[in-house]
Amino acid sequence: MPDHLDEVHYDAVVVGTDLASSILAAALSKAGKKVLHLDENEYYGGDSASLALEEVVRWANDRQNTASTSGARDLSRYLRRQRRKFTSVSYAFPRYSHSLDSPGSSSPLVLPSELQRASRQYSISLSPTLLPSTGPLIDTLIKSGVSRYGGFRLLEGVSVYTGDGVIKRVPSSKEDVFKDKEMSLLDKRKLMKFLMFATGDFESKPEVQGNEDTPLLSFLQNTFSLSSDVSFAIAFAIAHCTSPQDATLPALQRMRHYLRSSGRYGNSPFLIGHYGGPGEIAQGFCRVTAVRGGTYILGRRFRSLKRNTTSEGAPAHGAFSIELEDIPDTLHADVLITTRDYLPPDMLDGADDNSPSNRSPAAGKKLLARGIAVIDHPIQYAAVIPPTPDADQSSPSSEESTKTPQPLDTTLVVFPPGCLGDTRPLFESSVTALITGEGAFSCPRGQYVVYLCATIPSASEETLPTLNPESLLKPYLDTLVALPRPDSSSSSAPSPPLFQMFYLQRLDEPAATTLTPTESSNPHPSIHVISPDPSFTSPLTETSDWAATEAERVFRNIMRPEGAGTELANEEDEPLDFWPPLEEEEGGSEDVEEW
């Protein structure tokens, strides 16, 4: 029986269930708009999805160009664009490699049955993210009530790889700095002076004047006389710079944000969402939309997505019509909100999909090299039980604790640029390794998901084929798993990962012209494009806040009261709150509570 919709006309159709789109859909629903929310994938979250292991493998297979090139014509527009966005995708099951000997097979690898059975115990994020404890996304989560759907935990530790198989814990508070045993008193004083400066209103301070674009590293060393080690730790593990060239002012502003976030929920500026983070949070926003009457259709390809052209005025059925596979009705909407993944070329407005920069994968684009690995031993430990964050737990000489150190569940290890002696010019980037365990509900007990990420400033057509994400990132994974473990005195070789995947992700430049109704040149006043994340500098810590900011920007454009014509102008003259106040706070004592 074909599925009929009870309604075919919607105020807004939102295409894509990535975090920003999902936040926007929820806001529109809460503002009383009738929302249709679509995603061609069978899962929620788009490029920020949290996937079971089986789904990760399917995701990778869909984005590997090796599989029948002849069938590429059958690919949907979305998938064709996904294949340009995600390139050099490879995965393997190193732990099981001896058992599946299939030399020269170009067919997709089969998930080992042991992992197949446990597939759903994994929530692997396509967009691993640290969520600052203050800022747009946290505000949005709380104001919308979505925070109640999801679980969060604190990032338990940040460490910097200092070379030669040693990682050092980065102090996460002033107390930590005082307790640090390795730093000299003079260094501590300089560091404290800088931290005081960085948490204040430094924009007008003489130290910053004229230094806005100076690389942060030289600013720290020259202006605050900080040592090279301390400067590296600040730049890459506190300000989350990715390149030694990252400019001072934006880095200081990020850092102030993070420093001020610390203490809100505990001794870390960052939270990690359960079940892979952003993908799960997106589902929470989608539930808000659904509860408010929004309609969800996932896993259907578009047969058509087009703008209704009538000679004058708004078409009777709405400005857009959408046909989906398996859905007999043509759906109509007044406003279209989408990411560029879905937009037909004729709607892209000057940013035609066939433009030279889009024709070949990742040409002249900023890239992320990403790696995901599942391992079955912890990387970082608290020195003693109960965990105190003051010791250098990786130093094997600390023999005073007789108890086995406790493994940390969610940690970040930062590899400053060049720390493995990699001097390739394209690769002057820090590499981050975010490690999440069972406590973040990302994998079965005793296992950990390691997310590696490096930014590649720009890749030209010539250099692109030489970029191999696996050869770029594998040395970091190997270094990580080979770090000394306090629980095993034997010097046995580290066991290979159960699963590993590497790929390149093209970061689209934000649309040159944002399609907003105010721009008179915009021929499509009711198309709103969710811009890709421009935060090239620190994707790990900035992406989640960007999603909330971008959703609010588009929301305000859509709800703009003066926007005449087909816009969903608010009845009243004043703009709506992005998140209207929650109806009722949790009472706690009543028998019945509704939210």
Partner 1 sequence: MADANDASGSADKHVQVKLVLLGEAAVGKSSVVMRFVNNEFQANKEPTIGAAFLTQKCRLEDRVLRYEIWDTAGQERFHSLAPMYYRNAQAAVVVYDVTKAASLEKAKSWVKELQRQANPNIVIALAGNKVDLVTPAPAAETSFAESEDEPDDATATPGEISASAGSHGPESLRQVPKDEAQAYATEAGLLFFETSAKTGEGVVEIFTEIAKKIPIEYILSSTRGAAGRNGAGGARGTAAGGDVNLDGAGKKAGDACNC
**Which residues contact partner 1 by CB under 8 A?**
3, 6-7, 42-44, 50, 52, 120, 134-135, 138, 141-142, 145, 147-154, 156, 256-257, 260-261, 263-267, 271, 274-275, 280, 283-284, 286-288, 290-293, 295-300, 387, 406-407, 409-410, 437-439, 445, 583, 591-595
Q: Are strands 320-324 and 166-169 parallel, antiparallel or unpaired?
A: unpaired
- Compute CA 593 distance to the chain's CA centroid, rounded to the nearest angstrom: 34
Smallest gap from residue 299 Cβ to partner 1 (A)? 7
CB of 50 to partner 1, least distance (A): 8
Between 154 and 464, name the residue whose CB sits nearer to partner 1.
154
Which residues, listed in sequence order, are joined to residue 222 by a DSSP beta bridge? none
Residue written as token pair 């790990």: 540
Q: To the nearest whole angstrom, how small is the minimum distance from the Cβ of residue 438 to partner 1?
A: 5
Nearest-approach distance from CB 519 to partner 1, in angstroms: 26
| Residue 292 C-beta: closest distance to partner 1, Å | 5
- Residue 347 CB, nearest distance to partner 1 (Å)? 24
- DSSP category for residue 122: -
Interstrand relation of 406-407 and 381-382 (parallel, antiparallel or unpaired)? antiparallel
Instruction: Please identify, using beta-carbon distances, which residue of 114 and 352 lies nearer to partner 1.
Output: 114
Q: To the nearest whole angstrom, how small is the minimum distance from the Cβ of residue 217 to partner 1? A: 24
- Structural contact between residues 156 and 176, judged by C-beta atoms closer than 8 angstroms: no
Residue corresponding to tokens 């433009």: 355
The number of angstroms, rounded, from the C-alpha of 29 to the middle of its chain's C-alpha atoms is 24
Judged by beta carbon, residue 7 or residue 461, the one nearer partner 1 is: 7
Residue 332 DSSP SS3: strand
Can you state the angle between helices 539-559 and 248-261, rounded to 10 degrees? 90
Residue 111 or 464 having the CB closest to partner 1: 111
Helix (H) or strand (E) holding 90: strand 86-92
Query: Least separation, in Å, of the C-beta of 255 and partner 1?
Result: 11
Please identify, using beta-carbon distances, which residue of 150 and 475 lies nearer to partner 1.
150
Q: Which is nearer to partner 1, 421 or 588 (CB)?
A: 588
Count of other CB atoms within 10 angstroms of residue 333: 26
Rounded to an integer, what is the distance from CA 344 to the centroid of its chain?
25
Residue 426 sits at the vertex; the CA angle it makes with 421 and 432, to the nearest 5 degrees, is 65
Instruction: Report in angstroms how near the CB of residue 419 gets to partner 1 at its nearest.
Output: 28
> N- to C-terminal Cα distance for the chain?
35
From the CB of residue 54, how many other CB atoms can be counted at a distance below 10 Å? 15
Comparing CB distances to partner 1, the nearer of 121 and 245 is 121
User: Strand, helix or coil at 333?
Assistant: strand
Nearer to partner 1, 4 or 98 (CB): 4
Residue 500: beta bridge partners? 92, 373
100 or 142: whose CB is closer to partner 1? 142
